[in-house]
Amino acid sequence: MNLDPDLAALRELGGFFVLRTVRSAVGDHDAARADEPATLAKAYKKLTSDVYENALTFRVGTVSERLGITEPRVAASIAHQALAARLWSVALGCAVRYGRLPDLDPGLLRWDAAATAPDDLWLTEVRARPGGADPATLADAVVRAVVHGHLVPLGEALRARYGLAAGLLWGNAGSALAGAARELDRWARANDCADAVTRTRTLADALFAHPPLSATGTRAGLAFRRRSCCLYYRVPGGGVCGDCCFTQPPRSSPRAASG
């Protein structure tokens, strides 16, 4: 199935899977702002303390303010997992629905860091990545696009600015991938799309076979238990997530769960 200019097949999957395009934004009420938000390529550059100088720094500050978080590294972890979930969702959604990926280069993806969840992303140009539709080829394409294109530079930026452990960030990535796969599987089953169920599970298995995702947790089907903690228990009113390595919030040092 060829990619359509509006990536319309993603819309029925839910908000985390939607990837707007400049073309599809023309009728939106905020179309005039379509060229204002920075590309993700710019957001991944070296972060500064000035929240208005970099979109990622701004996003961490926005998450901190909205959730009442006093620890910047906790807000950074929550912001990271939310963006990772969006990136996995749009990539998996395209792989399953179209059998191919659009080019998700950080220079083509714009991000409105001030938006509410789910993070608002859109492509400035829809062009298909080369490659076949077989599961192994698609999985490799997703790894190149999401892991190497986004998660590696995103993680490097957050580690340098906020001191987050690599294990925590990759745990976030694994958790976000597992969540995206479960949502896509749920949609496929609800709509009697047996082929989509098979493709989703095959892709998830192939992606989790890639290091460093293979070391992020244990799996049983689409169920996932991570080996690290995203620090959500340190959010006011928060607790442990369903896939957390902890069964209850730890009482030890704030840094104890950072790996």
Q: What is the pLDDT along the chain (259 residues), one digit of tens a residue?
A: 789 999 999 999 999 999 999 755 544 444 434 446 789 999 998 777 766 678 999 999 999 999 999 999 999 999 999 999 999 999 999 999 999 999 999 999 999 999 988 999 989 999 998 877 788 899 999 999 999 999 999 999 999 999 999 999 999 999 999 999 999 999 999 999 999 999 999 999 999 999 999 999 999 999 999 999 999 999 999 999 999 999 899 875 444 444 5
Q: 214, 178 in Cβ contact below 8 A?
A: no
The runs of H, that is alpha helices, within the chain are 40-43, 55-67, 72-98, 135-142, 152-162, 166-190, 194-208
Report the pLDDT value the prediction gives residue 51, as an integer from 0 to 100.
63
Cut 0.75: pTM above it? yes
Q: Does residue 88 lie within any of the structural domains?
A: yes
Please give the tally of structural domains in the chain.
Answer: 1
Count other Cβ atoms within 10 Å, centred on residue 156.
14
Q: Does residue 156 lie within any of the structural domains?
A: yes
Q: Does residue 257 lie within any of the structural domains?
A: no
Q: Is 134 helix (H, G, I), strand (E, B) or coil?
A: coil
Report the pLDDT value the prediction gives residue 218, as an integer from 0 to 100.
97
Report the pLDDT value the prediction gives residue 131, as an integer from 0 to 100.
76
Q: Does residue 118 lie within any of the structural domains?
A: yes
Report the pLDDT value the prediction gives residue 24, as an integer from 0 to 100.
53
On the CB side of 9, CA atoms within 13 Å amount to 21
For residue 104, the enclosing domain spans: 8-234
Report the pLDDT value the prediction gives residue 258, as an integer from 0 to 100.
46
Q: Does residue 3 lie within any of the structural domains?
A: no
Q: Does residue 251 lie within any of the structural domains?
A: no
Report the pLDDT value the prediction gives residue 136, as an integer from 0 to 100.
87
Radius of gyration of the chain (CA): 18
Q: Does residue 145 lie within any of the structural domains?
A: yes
Report the pLDDT value the prediction gives residue 23, as an integer from 0 to 100.
58
Q: Does residue 58 lie within any of the structural domains?
A: yes
